[in-house]
Structure 1
């Protein structure tokens, strides 16, 4: 059985169980029009990851607790967006610049929400896009939530330069992150593209883990160092409030 076909059939099994609640191997095989041995192998693989489980009294299968783990990750992401939205709007209005919210995804920063100030020039819509961790304010905040060893593992290999100001040495990036952890925010100027400046701060969950990054960004000619500092102070306050709404308490 080809790998892609196996994945497709495993997903179909999950969909059947999500729709029907419980089904036996024979019933699932009939719906997929495949041999029972094929279904058994796929169910064994899904069960190893707790994605399905067997009702021992009935001998049938149902969705397992692993589904909750995966759904929980998505729910947590949606919770961040929901809790941050009103604060992002206030921050965009106060700074006159664009506010973005990003999370870690597949070794990059994935933008999950964006709010533009009504007075700002139409900016690029980053929602749904992944950008490099080492060359962006949001990316560096997300990296700062990791240990140095984890950072080196994530940034393994050659780091691309997007502008002349992009930091491409892993050791230098790691050194920068110490400052991010100490200051609670980071400023990046012209590293991803010339003419773009941004300041970002972490959003934490109830355990204190960095689960997202909130940023304010704008054109470098307008978003001057003085304005970045002023926006940074307001940004940190908003990011802390989002973290508080997600259950985090700073006990230090």
Structure 2
């Protein structure tokens, strides 16, 4: 591995200051935050401005904000993203950590479609496959995605649906009961399913967001009932949130 170039590192440090900055920064503020010599900061911001990575607002002389070049690079990065491929990578990492089956799913109508899956390393595991479609209300990923819909979209999805299809005796079949369950999901920020799509499996799920903050998928960890407990649920819930956050970060969400 080659050595890091100090000048490039410092330039990137300057740009990354703006990740947590709501507006603009002045050269003295950059100098203070990075503890660099004033002349070094002056040369860095001059170069970055000349290359359109920074710009000076016309009405704020002496201050800098991100320029258009960063947006152009970000757009190119977004164009090459593949949610399924990125989801598979993150699912693999989460599965390696917990040893359980991990899914990433998206919502299509009233169903979820699994776009990524990594199997458990245990002998007792759930049987599923990427590409499988299930009723959203019966799964943790589905409840997570339904709970993330704007109210009017959710109402449209449930309007006139009548009793919901049951996959197990524990499946939610009442739209009103589902609404209560979704309110609980919104409050917690995660979803739990206990033997609602498979009588031998329980799951936890967390939301995956894109660069704009919209929930575009959900990541779940599925556990056979023989390995399910409240302690295990809490542990896996934390891992699901961590994995979903990692996938969100790959999609550009901060």
TM range (shorter): 0.5 to 0.7
Give the stretch that moved more between structures: 176-185 or 212-221. 176-185
1:85 aligns with 2:88: yes
How big is the shift at 1:76?
A: 7.9
TM-score (normalizing by structure 2): 0.64
SS at match of 2:241: helix
Contact 1:148 / 1:174 at 8 angstroms: preserved in 2? no
List runs of 5+ in structure 1 lacking aligned partners: 1-74
Q: For the structure 1 residues 123 and 77, does the alpha-carbon distance in structure 2 shift closer, same or farther, using more than 3 Å as the test?
A: farther
Residue 131 of structure 1: which of 126, 130, 134 is its match?
134
**Secondary structure of 2:176 counterpart:** helix
Residues 125, 224 of structure 2: 8 Å contact kept:
no
Distance verdict in 2 for CA 1:221–1:76, change over 3 Å: farther
CA deviation map 1:44-101 (0-9, x unaligned): xxxxxxxxxxxxxxxxxxxxxxxxxxxxxxx989722222323211211221110001
Aligned-pair distance for 1:120?
4.5
Alignment of 1:234 with 2:239, yes or no, is yes
Q: Aligned residue pairs: how many?
A: 175
Matched residues in 1 for 2:85 and 2:79: separation?
10
Q: 1:96 to 1:147 in 2, by over 3 A?
A: same
Determine the structure 2 residue equivalent to 1:182: 187
Structural RMSD (CA): 2.0
For residues 122 and 187 of structure 1, do their structure 2 counterparts lie closer, same or farther at Cα, with a shift above 3 Å needed? closer
Residue number in structure 2 paired with 1:12:
none
Quick one: distance in 1 between partners of 2:185 and 2:79?
24
Runs of 4+ in 1 over 4 A off after TM superposition: 75-78
**Hey, what does 2:60 align to over in structure 1?**
none
